A and B are shown apart, each in its own frame.
Chain A
Amino acid sequence: GAGVSQSPRYKVAKRGQDVALRCDPISGHVSLFWYQQALGQGPEFLTYFQNEAQLDKSGLPSDRFFAERPEGSVSTLKIQRTQQEDSAVYLCASSPWTSGPFKNIQYFGAGTRLSVL
C-alpha cells in the first residue's frame, strides 16, 4: 500500500472490554513498531517486530497488552480488560531495513484513538 494503514481510527470501549487494533505496514517493510501516545505527550515505545519475530516487548505496560505479527505483515495489538489509563492514541510504524544507517526512519500510520469509559 501507499502508507501505513491502521484500523479502526477510533475505538470506544467500556472498562473491562478487550480490544484489538490492526496495523497494515507498507508492503515489504521488515520492521514494525507500536507506540502509545498519551494526550499532550510524545509517543512511547511498546514493542518491535522483525518480520514475524517479536524482538523487543520491553515497553508493553502490563501483561494485558499483547501484540502479534504471525505472517510478518499485518500486526495486531490486543489489550485485554481495558482500563481508563489505556486511553491513548496507538501508533504503528514500519521501516524497510533491519540494519544500516536508514533503519530508524520509521513511517507512521495515523493511529487508533482508544477511549476507555
Chain B
Amino acid sequence: EDKVVQSPLSLVVHEGDTVTLNCSYEVTNFRSLLWYKQEKKAPTFLFMLTSSGIEKKSGRLSSILDKKELFSILNITATQTGDSAVYLCAVEEGGSSNTGKLIFGQGTTLQVKP
C-alpha cells in the first residue's frame, strides 16, 4: 500500500531557530513530491520536487529530494512566528489512472514561539 510518513509529528522552537522536517515515502509509481503549508485555511503550495539532489529554495525555505533513499526534507532557517503551521508532504502517484491524485502524509505541526 502506498504511504507517506512525516516526522516529527509536532515541533516547538523559538524564533531564529532552524528546523528540518522529514518526509519518507513508499509509492509504487512515484512522479513527484510536493510540500504544502497549511494554516487555518487553504493549504498553500511551497515546492514540487521531481529530481534527486536538486535543492529548491524560496527565501528561508528550502527542500531536497532523495529518490534512492525515498525521502525529502524541508528546511526553514531563521524561523519566525508566521512560520507556525502544519506542513504537509504529498506524493503524486503516477499509476495507470494518471489523475495526479496526491497521497499525503499526516503533517508536521510547527509552533514557533517569540
Contact = CB atoms under 8 A, between A and B. Distances in A.
A48 interface: yes
Nearest to A44: B104
A62 interface: no
Given A3-B42, A104-B92, A105-B45, A45 B102 contact: yes
Contact of B34 (A3, A50, A91, A105): A105
A103 B97 contact: no
A18 interface: no
A59 B97 CA distance: 13
B31 interface: yes
A102 B107 CA distance: 23
Contacts of B85: none
A99 to B, nearest CB: 8
Contacts of B50: 101
B103 interface: yes
A45 B36 CA distance: 15
Given A101-B50, A111-B42, 14 more contacts: A33-B102, A42-B6, A43-B102, A45-B101, A45-B103, A48-B99, A56-B99, A91-B42, A104-B92, A107-B42, A107-B45, A108-B36, A108-B42, A110-B41
Prevailing SS type, chain A contact patch: loop
A25 interface: no
A107 B34 CA distance: 12
B34 A55 contact: no
Contacts of B103: 45
Interface of A: 3-4, 31, 33, 35, 40-45, 48, 50, 55-56, 58-59, 91, 95, 101-111
A15 B11 CA distance: 36
Contacts of B105: 42
A41 B44 CA distance: 17
B100 A104 contact: yes
Contacts of A35: 102, 104
B84 interface: no
Contacts of A107: 42, 45
